[in-house]
């Protein structure tokens, strides 16, 4: 949010809109080439059913992402003039962000691996503190020197140290586990030639493994990982497109100035998204364990407790945001008159979404990845259709209405599925006890 305010108040709306569109395109593409390997890795490591060393799962998740992200980066670099003609983003910015694409995609996968091992620290510090603070600092420096051309570099550069720090944490953590003799992810894989059944496998590739053994473990981990993640790879890509396609559509149909207004007014939704992501990161391993173990009582309690927390954390923000909407254009700067209307639509939509809880996450944790894919596809279709119909005439407000329709569909469809299949509801008998200190401790455990 602070980054958006710095850009909108320091640069013309056209420049701000071009930057926001470039950021959306980059993150959208990174979400597609990531193949949802992040969630797949968390599921594999947190479910307690892994049959290969940790490094095998990390490699199995990372190698396809590296290959696809590098190939996509080359294609985007070569097609930069075409991207510029369609979106209005300068070709130099497109080429620069294409080089950052592999770092962005791989950093997310490695940070996800730390969550799969039960550690929230790397996610909190790297994605919650290091990334936004470093981006804000570099953007401020670019603003001070008055260099608009440095803005995309300032935004993309922090992903490089995040990737390096996440890899370092994984290496140190798995090395320590291997030395202690209690590495996770060392259950019993199918025995290889000369290997007795039930042999314990070290966690690190250098601890008693030949090259052939490491390759065999990686292949086995890849089959296990992508059996679950494969259907989600498409859904994850669609989800990444769904989150940011609206910004690109506004830029294409209405120009960068309207894209700047829409992005600036809706950027405050990140407050609710951060709350939801924080709860999701904390609860996802336990929810996966509960649903894969058919423990519906625990799953129901986690779902209802986190839903009430989400409502309690975000509704005051959205009510206040809607109440203060008339003053938003003055805060953003000149050229953002439609920001107030967009803010009201955003606040109302996010309140409904918060009340649905983490429905899609619960659906995925229960193994219904195909249903999640179908829901996300329907949601993005609704969004695109509404945007095409409304954006040319209503600009940023039309995009907000289209986004709202898609968000409502995306939250209500999995909610209906969970209720029909598992009788899971966002509110129920566990709701009244959700604010007790003991419930907080159990939910965060």
The end-to-end CA distance of the chain, in Å, is: 30
- pTM, entire model: 0.77
Report DSSP letters for 202-261, one per residue: -SSTTSS--HHHHHHHHHHHHHHHHHHHHHHHHHHHHHHHHHHHHHHHHHHHH-HHHHHH
Distance CA 72, CA 29 (A): 8
Q: Is the pLDDT of residue 441 over 60?
A: no
User: Are 51 and 224 spatial neighbours (Cβ–Cβ below 8 Å)?
Assistant: yes
Distance CA 211, CA 230 (A): 26
Q: What is the DSSP code (8-state) at residue 128?
A: I
Q: What digits encode the pLDDT tens for the residues 330-370?
A: 888 877 888 899 999 999 999 999 999 888 888 887 878 78
| Residue 438: band (very low, low, confident or very high) from pLDDT cuts 50, 70, 90 | low
Give CA separation, 68 vs 33, 55, 93, in Å: 6, 20, 21
Distance CA 374, CA 387 (A): 20
In this structure, is the dihedral angle defined by the CA atoms of residues 403, 406, 412 and 415, taken in order, positive or negative? Answer: negative
**Per-residue b/e over 85-114, b at no fewer than 16 CB within 10 Å?**
eebbbbeebbbbbbebbbbbbbbbbbbbbb
Q: What is the DSSP code (8-state) at residue 88?
A: -
Q: What integer pLDDT is reported at residue 273 of this predicted model? A: 72
Q: Is the pLDDT of residue 79 over 90?
A: yes
Q: What is the DSSP code (8-state) at residue 186?
A: -
Q: Which residue did the predictor score with more confidence, 295 or 323?
A: 323
| Residue 50: band (very low, low, confident or very high) from pLDDT cuts 50, 70, 90 | low
| Residue 111: band (very low, low, confident or very high) from pLDDT cuts 50, 70, 90 | very high
SS3 7: helix
Rounded to 5°, angle at Cα 1 from 119 and 90: 105
- What is the number of other CB atoms lying within 10 angstroms of the CB of residue 420? 9
Q: Which residue did the predictor score with more confidence, 192 or 237?
A: 237
| Residue 314: band (very low, low, confident or very high) from pLDDT cuts 50, 70, 90 | confident
| Span 145-174, average pLDDT | 93
The DSSP element (H or E) to which 192 belongs, if any, is none
Q: What integer pLDDT is reported at residue 205 of this predicted model? A: 43
Q: Report the C-alpha dihedral over residues 42, 30, 17, 92, rounded to 10 degrees.
A: 150
Q: What integer pLDDT is reported at residue 178 of this predicted model? A: 58
Distance CA 1, CA 5 (A): 6
Q: Which residue did the predictor score with more confidence, 30 or 229?
A: 30
Q: Which residue did the predictor score with more confidence, 365 or 47?
A: 365
Mean pLDDT of the chain: 84
Chain Cα centroid distance, residue 147: 30
Q: What integer pLDDT is reported at residue 434 of this predicted model? A: 64
Distance CA 53, CA 44 (A): 11
Q: Is the pLDDT of residue 315 over 50?
A: yes
| Residue 41: band (very low, low, confident or very high) from pLDDT cuts 50, 70, 90 | confident
Rounded to 5°, angle at Cα 271 from 385 and 341: 50
Q: What integer pLDDT is reported at residue 182 of this predicted model? A: 46
Distance CA 26, CA 34 (A): 12
| Span 277-295, average pLDDT | 76
Q: What integer pLDDT is reported at residue 353 of this predicted model? A: 92
Spell out the domain ranges in the chain. 1-237, 268-445
Q: What integer pLDDT is reported at residue 203 of this predicted model? A: 43
Tokens describing residue 265: 């007014």
| Span 386-399, average pLDDT | 93
Maximum Cα interatomic distance, the chain, rounded to a whole number of Å: 73
| Residue 410: band (very low, low, confident or very high) from pLDDT cuts 50, 70, 90 | very high
Report DSSP letters for 272-338, one per residue: HHHHHHHHHHHHHHHHHHHHHTT-HHHHHHHHHHHHHHHHHHHHHHHHHHHHTGGGHHHHH-TT-TT
User: Are 152 and 93 spatial neighbours (Cβ–Cβ below 8 Å)?
Assistant: yes
Q: What is the DSSP code (8-state) at residue 189?
A: P
Q: Which of 80-94, 120-134, 183-197, 228-242 has the highest average model confidence (pLDDT)?
A: 80-94
Q: Is the pLDDT of residue 281 over 90?
A: no
| Span 232-245, average pLDDT | 83
Q: What integer pLDDT is reported at residue 105 of this predicted model? A: 96
Q: Which of 108-117, 118-127, 150-159, 252-261 has the highest average model confidence (pLDDT)?
A: 150-159
Give CA separation, 41 vs 61, 172, 227, 251, 359, in Å: 7, 18, 12, 34, 20
SS3 content of the chain, % helix, strand, coil (to 5): 80, 0, 20
Residue found by looking up tokens 């006890």 in the block? 433
Q: Is the pLDDT of residue 278 over 60?
A: yes
Of 256, 290, 297, the C-alpha closest to 361 is 290
Q: What integer pLDDT is reported at residue 368 of this predicted model? A: 84
- Cα atoms in the 13 Å half-sphere on the side-chain side of 147: 13
């Amino acid at each position: 949010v602070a980054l958006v305010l710095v850009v909108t108040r320091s640069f013309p709306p056209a420049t701000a809109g071009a930057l926001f569109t470039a950021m959306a395109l980059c993150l959208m593409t990174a979400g597609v080439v990531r193949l949802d390997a992040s969630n797949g890795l968390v599921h594999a490591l947190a479910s307690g059913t892994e049959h290969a060393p940790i490094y095998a799962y990390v490699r199995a998740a990372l190698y396809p992402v590296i290959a696809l992200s590098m190939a996509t980066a080359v294609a985007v670099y070569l097609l930069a003039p075409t991207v510029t003609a369609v979106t209005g983003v300068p070709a130099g910015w497109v080429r620069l962000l294409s080089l950052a694409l592999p770092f962005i995609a791989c950093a997310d996968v490695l940070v996800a691996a730390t969550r799969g091992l039960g550690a929230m620290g790397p996610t909190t510090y790297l994605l919650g503190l290091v990334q936004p603070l470093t981006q804000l600092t570099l953007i401020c420096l670019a603003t001070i020197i008055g260099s608009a051309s440095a803005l995309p570099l300032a935004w993309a550069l922090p992903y490089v140290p995040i990737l390096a720090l996440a890899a370092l944490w994984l290496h140190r953590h798995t090395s320590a586990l291997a030395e202690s003799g209690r590495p996770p992810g060392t259950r019993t894989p199918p025995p290889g030639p000369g290997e007795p059944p039930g042999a314990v496998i070290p966690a690190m590739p250098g601890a008693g493994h030949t090259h052939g053994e490491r390759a065999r473990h990686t292949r086995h981990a890849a089959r296990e990982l992508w059996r679950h993640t494969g259907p989600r790879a498409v859904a994850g890509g669609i989800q990444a497109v769904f989150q940011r396609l609206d910004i690109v559509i506004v830029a294409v149909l209405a120009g960068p100035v309207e894209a700047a207004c829409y992005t600036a007014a809706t950027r405050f939704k990140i407050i609710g998204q951060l709350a939801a992501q924080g709860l999701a990161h904390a609860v996802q391993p336990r929810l996966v364990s509960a649903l894969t173990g058919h423990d519906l009582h625990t799953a129901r309690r986690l779902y209802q407790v986190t839903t009430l927390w989400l409502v309690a954390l975000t509704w005051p923000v959205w009510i206040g945001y809607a109440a203060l909407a008339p003053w938003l254009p003055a805060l953003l700067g000149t050229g953002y008159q439609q920001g107030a209307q967009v803010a009201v639509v955003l606040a109302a939509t996010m309140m409904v979404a918060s009340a649905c809880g983490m429905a899609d996450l619960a659906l995925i944790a229960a193994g219904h990845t195909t249903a999640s894919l179908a829901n996300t596809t329907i949601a993005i279709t609704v969004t695109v259709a509404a945007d095409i119909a409304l954006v040319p005439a209503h600009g940023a407000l039309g995009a907000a209405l289209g986004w709202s329709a898609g968000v409502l569909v995306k939250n209500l469809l999995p909610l209906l599925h969970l209720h029909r299949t598992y009788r899971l509801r966002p509110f129920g008998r566990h709701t009244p006890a959700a604010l007790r200190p003991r419930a907080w401790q159990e939910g965060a455990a």
